[in-house]
Amino acid sequence: MNKIAQVPIGDTFFGKTGHFLADLPGLGQLVSLIANNAIVVAGVIFLFLIIFAGFQMITAGGDSQKFQQGQNIITAGFIGFIIVLAAFLIVRFIESSLGIPIFE
């Protein structure tokens, strides 16, 4: 299983042109990089969804359908953020309880 995480991907996919991902020694580090930044990306998307939905709710002008649509956007964004956060925390819990380094 460790052999998959150590597949050299830097030179294979990004070449030796100085790409910032060319320094990755293996697939495990790429997955760790993506997983650790997933919460940040999900948070930024959630923030933009709140701003967009709030703008839509403010400009509804008494139209209950637009207002409800804004509420649905906020609800869906919150549920999506909670799912990403829960998945990350579950993987971290499994990693710490079993002692298996999933995110290197």
pLDDT digits (tens, 9 = 90+) for 2-60: 555 555 555 556 566 666 666 666 666 777 777 778 889 999 999 999 999 999 999 99
Task: Output the six-digit token pair for 7.
Answer: 């597949």
Report the alpha-carbon distance of residue 53 to residue 15 in Å, rounded: 42
Domain limits of the chain? 2-98
Residue pair 28/104 in contact by the 8 Å Cβ criterion: yes
* pTM, rounded to two decimals: 0.68
Task: Output the six-digit token pair for 82.
Answer: 């909670």
pLDDT tens by residue, 28-43: 677 777 777 888 999 9
Residue type, 61: G
Task: Output the six-digit token pair for 40.
Answer: 């940040």
Burial class (CB in 10 A: 0-12, 13-18, 19+), 83: exposed
Residue pair 52/71 in contact by the 8 Å Cβ criterion: no
